[in-house]
Structure 1
Amino acid sequence: MKTILPILLLFVFACKTTQPVAADDITAIRSILTQQQKAWSENDLEGFMSGYWQSEELTYFSRGKITKGWQTTLANYKRNYPSKKETGELNFEIANITKINNDAYWVMGSYFLTREVGDANGTFMIIFKRINGEWKIIGDSSC
């Protein structure tokens, strides 16, 4: 009995400590998404892109095309959303944040753009990965 109690306590403690970590991860991911909404709505595309992995391996899929690279993705955003009239105000509605493993989550949701040039909305699925201790979007599929 004396040897079982410490093992049982260790097991209970280990189980309890895993939950707050997942909650902290989700809070950090939601914070990045909130920062992205704010940056986009201020026509700060560089600020919006700070949530993405600054790598040539960043993958973006939309309208049947795959785009690779952080700089290419930023250039596309700048070309397609050159002013506040096009960026408008961005709001996300998060449907699901699901853990893939300790260092990755996928997020599904909808986006809503309220703009002078006409409103737009659609859906997205993004993959967050913990890279060097920071959560970054490594893959984005939007339509």
Structure 2
Amino acid sequence: MKKLYRILLVLPVIAVLAFTSLGKDDALKGTRDEIIQVMRDQEAAWNMGDMQGFMKGYAQSDSTLFVGKTRVNYGWQTVLDSYLKAYPDQAAMGTLHFDLIRVEPLSKKNAYVVGKWTLMENEKPASGHFVLIFEKSKAGWRIIVDGTS
């Protein structure tokens, strides 16, 4: 009888823990899905020649940081201007593809993404890797730090 009593006491605790962890997993999956969608939207905008649409993935802030092979840019507008200088039209933009290696929530408001980018422009592929830090705001998940090589 004591054994049955112990089991009956432990079962609700196990059930609560199981449901709590399920909720966290669902929330993490939702976060991952939302961030992946931002990346897919950026990819689609780029491939349509829509630089403004591509930039919607970034936080529109003076503190947005882009670290590339040869430069460090601060601010959404500076990042946009740099992209426009390097890719003045759709032909120059080519076709972009992201291969997302890891999408990892760090908290309710922050996550990071590790991936590979491939750009086909004039049949000459270019590629490299990136690490992005996302922050959740009223506008949704946005990139606040972009380290691209």
State TM-score, norm by structure 1: 0.90
Percentage of identical aligned residues: 27
**Aligned equivalent of 1:53:** 59
After superposition, give the CA deviation of every residue in 1:18-66 in whole Å (9 maximum; x if it has no partner): 1011011111111111111110011100000001000001000012422
**Aligned equivalent of 2:138:** 132
List aligned pairs for 1:93-112, cutoff 5 A.
93-112=99-118
**Aligned equivalent of 2:126:** 120
Which of 64, 67, 74 is 2:80 aligned to? 74
CA separation in 2, counterparts of 1:26 and 1:10?
24
User: Once the 2 structures are TM-superposed, how far is the Cα of residue 97 of structure 1 from its aligned partner?
Assistant: 1.4
User: Once the 2 structures are TM-superposed, how far is the Cα of residue 99 of structure 1 from its aligned partner?
Assistant: 2.3
CA separation in 1, counterparts of 2:71 and 2:46?
22
CA separation in 2, counterparts of 1:114 and 1:104?
31
SS at match of 1:43: coil
Q: What amino acid sits opposite 1:65 in the alignment?
A: R
Contact 1:51 1:137 in 2 (8 A): yes
Please say which of residues 13-22 and 53-62 is displaced more in the overlay: 13-22
Q: What amino acid sits opposite 2:49 in the alignment?
A: N
After superposition, give the CA deviation of every residue in 1:80-125 in whole Å (9 maximum; x if it has no partner): 1001221111001111112222221111111111112733211111
Contact 2:63 2:74 in 1 (8 A): yes
User: Pairwise CA RMSD of aligned residues?
Assistant: 1.8
Give unpaired runs (5+ residues) of structure 2.
Answer: none
Contact 1:53 1:137 in 2 (8 A): yes
List aligned pairs for 1:16-27, cutoff 5 A.
16-27=22-33
Contact 1:99 1:106 in 2 (8 A): yes
**Aligned equivalent of 1:86:** 92
Give unpaired runs (5+ residues) of structure 1.
Answer: none
User: Once the 2 structures are TM-superposed, how far is the Cα of residue 69 of structure 1 from its aligned partner?
Assistant: 0.5
